[in-house]
Amino acid sequence: MTRLHKGALDKTPGATPVPMPRIQRETWVNWALLGLLLLAPMIANALGEVYYVNLATRIAIVTMAAVGLNLAIGYGGMISFGHAAFFGLGGYVAGISAFHAFDMTPVLSWPITMPGTDNLLVIWLVAMLSCAVLALVIGAISLRTSGVYFIMITLAFAQMIYYFAVSWPTYGGEDGLPIYLRNQFPGLDTNDPLTFFLICFAALVLALAITARLMQSRFGAALTMARLNETRLATAGIAPYPIRLVAFVISAVITGLAGALFADLNGFVGASMLSWHRSGEIMVIVILGGVGRLYGPLSGAMLFVLMETLLGGLTEYWLLFLGLILLFVVLFARGGVMGLLAGRARHE
Amino acid sequence: MTLSLLFEQLLNGLQLGTMLFLMASGLTLVFGVMGLINLAHGSFYMVGAFVTAWTAGTTGSFWVGLGAGILAAAAVGAVVELLVIRRLYHRQHLDQVLATFALILIFSEGTRWLFGSSPLWLNVPEALSGAVALPGGSRYPVFRLVIIAVGVLVAVALFLLISRTRLGMRIRAGESDREMIGALGIDIAKLYTLVFALGAALAGLAGSMIGALQSVQVGMGEPVLILAFVVIVIGGIGSIKGALIGSLLVGLVDTLGRVFLPSLFKLFMTPAEASGVGAALASMLIYVLMAIILAFKPKGLFAAND
């Protein structure tokens, strides 16, 4: 914490900024990873390897989902085991809207008539709003508790949404819902893999920028203190509960937008996007990358998707090896990939 | 709505409840004594079911299979505790969640590797395969009644174990002050392994018996695990009494909701719509119950020390 305050003081005119070598190294790693993610699909596209462009898109989207969760877990100390609910809800908004746009039927006919649309801007807005509302409800109840209760309650709420999606027959139930035509962004051709990648990449950069900006603000300082020492925050005259709730909602919105993009990438949305394995997967990515580091999710997602692709190509049982690696990381290699690449975290 | 249907569904709810209790009591004991959240508890349920089905298929005896299933679950529990879990007691909950999530992946994929993806089948033992008449005329399988009886027996035995024996005294002492019982010369490491293996054995018992009702397949432990989480959150984490009451509540509400909600909606909807809406809402019912209880009691109905 002392460093955080010193950083704030350094901004006063006249103070000579002393760069921390460790932090600088992390910044270099961050830029290198982001550059790699941007350049690799461009090269792949130039070589005509569409498969790798889509793989990079997948990494960008999964990273974004994890950036959302990282805000809750890493910065806010709220161990949500139910972020698949938001990921899936975002996906279902994209799927349902496309379904009605394709069918030319309204999404809602009462109390107002709401037609389906394939305009991504509208879909994203609706996805983010619905995730915000859902997160507000789940968060308002779950944040009354803490510790293990919080973990289990977020898990249980996500399961509730999952079972609802499975048993609700209108939108495919267990079979899921195909998106026949990828939703459109005004003025761009989203069917072009590289264009769609760039859209996802831009959304990811935006999510990273918002998280960074948020954590440098007074709100971010309050959120950090809510994690480190709740009593101290309350003593300073700031109630921890609303701070946490707002962070939880923002976190859900970011993950939900990633879900909407994911559905469009795959041309399909199903209950698997809501399952608790998905929550675990997003959490694994956050941890593999390094908890509470801005770019941790990026390195985690790269490692995860590459392992999924490479190991999954070698053996049907790749999850067994993922389990072993994860167990090893948790037991012996704390700090994740970013810990290895950029040294220990600020605070531990 | 006939009386016999109501009676039958009450028994079904009770049976689900007692099975949930076998899972939830282990989870809540491990949390109460060691402060550990264990997602891999469902894996012991699966291990119990697979070993029982495999042994019963090989030897032809359900009872040998049942014994083998319980022992295997306890042994796997003890080994996992020695190798992995004991490194996690002093870690944060996040580490515990991830490490035990990793264990789920290892167990599920390992089982798929050993036994393949197709489910195994386990038959109800000959002696218990009949049915008895219920008041109202319908018949109810004996085996399900036996499951209820086993659940009740385990609940009583656990109660006696914890309140009347030396081991139970140590468990209670471990719940309230672990440093102190260590200082009094009790081997905490051994106590922890024992409690963990006991929880695993109960989960294995549940898996073995349910294996005779459903197909034995990879991933069968997960839905039960999540229901057991709902149970202990409702009952209060760490409380055996809470686990018992929570199990019965969840078992009854879930079973009755699935049967009666669709018929309730048929009163003012078309049958097709009613069954869709009813099924969707019924599947959410226990989570709504949980949310309501937590809104009034954030630590559950019978919160233990914590």
Q: How many residues does chain A have?
A: 348
Chain A, residues 238-277, CB within 8 A of chain B, namely 276
Q: What is the pLDDT of residues A164-179, one digit of tens each?
A: 898 887 787 888 888 8
Say what the pLDDT of residue B133 is: 80
Say how many C-beta atoms besides its own lie within 10 A of residue A315's C-beta.
Answer: 12
CB-based contact (8 Å) between A311 and chain B? no
Question: Could you tell me the pLDDT band of residue A10, with boundaries at 50, 70 and 90?
Answer: very low
One-letter identity of residue A298: L
Q: Which two tokens stand for residue A340?
A: 């290895």
Give the model's pLDDT for residue B2. Answer: 74
User: Which of A280-284, B105-109, B284-288 bottoms out in mean pLDDT, i.e. has the lowest?
Assistant: B284-288
**pLDDT score for A110:** 65
More confident residue, A133 or B92: A133
| Interface test mutation site (partner B, options A80, A81, A142, A152, max chain B beta carbons within 10 A) | A152
pLDDT value at residue A7: 42
* Coil, strand or helix at B63: helix
Contacts of A236 (CB under 8 A, 6+ apart): A225
Top-confidence range, A80-94, A97-111, B182-196, B234-248 = A80-94
Considering only residues A312 and B228, tell me which one the structure prediction assigns the higher pLDDT.
B228
Reduce the DSSP state of residue A269 to 3 states and report it: strand
Residues of B in contact with A326 (CB under 8 A): 98-99, 101-102, 105
Which residues, other chains included, contact A252 with Cβ-Cβ below 8 Å and sequence gap of 6+?
A68, A83, A86, A131, A132, A134, A135, A138, A139
Which of B109, B239, B293, B302 to probe by mutation at the A interface, max A CB count within 10 Å?
B109
Report domain extents, chain A: 58-289
Partner-chain contact A81 B295, CB within 8 Å: no
Closest-CA residue of chain A to B28: A148
Number of residue pairs across A and B with CB atoms under 8 Å? 119
Q: How far apart are CA B246 and CA B240, in angstroms?
A: 10
Do B280 and A149 count as a contact with CB atoms less than 8 A apart? no
What pLDDT, on the 0 to 100 scale, is given for residue B295? 78
Q: What is the DSSP string of A74-116?
A: IIT----S-THHHHHHHHHHHHHHHHHHHHT-EEE-SSS-EE-
Per-residue model confidence as pLDDT tens digits over A289-309: 888 888 989 999 999 998 888
Model confidence band, residue B176 (pLDDT cutoffs 50, 70, 90): confident
Q: Inspect the interface and report whether the beta carbons of B87 and A331 lie closer than 8 Å.
A: yes
Cα gap A118→A182, rounded to integer Å: 8
Average pLDDT over every residue of B165-185: 83
Contacts of A327 in chain B (CB under 8 A): 84, 99, 102-103, 106
Judge: B284–A164 Cβ closer than 8 Å, yes or no.
yes
Q: For residue A108, name the pLDDT band (cuts at 50, 70, 90).
A: confident
User: Which residue on chain B is closest to A157 by alpha carbon?
Assistant: B287
- DSSP three-state, residue B182: helix
Specify the length of chain B in residues: 306
Give how far A93 is from chain B: nearest CA, Å: 18
Structural domain boundaries in chain B: 3-220
pLDDT of residue A285: 92
- Say if residues A52 and A44 touch (Cβ distance below 8 Å): yes
Q: Per-residue pLDDT for A114 more than 90? A: no
Res. A183 pLDDT band, cuts 50 70 90: confident
Give the chain B residue whose CA is nearest to the CA of A333.
B95
Contact A68, A278 (CB under 8 A): no
Query: Looking at residue B139, what DSSP letter applies?
Result: E
Per-residue model confidence (pLDDT) at position B304 = 57
- To test the contact with chain A by mutation, choose from B34, B90, B98 the residue with the greatest count of A C-beta atoms within 10 A, namely B98
Model pLDDT, residue A104: 76
pLDDT on residue A2:
41
Question: Residue A10 corresponds to which tokens in the numbers above?
Answer: 């350094």
Would the pLDDT of A15 be above 60? Answer: no
Determine the Cα–Cα distance for residues A136 and B173; give it in Å rounded to an integer: 40
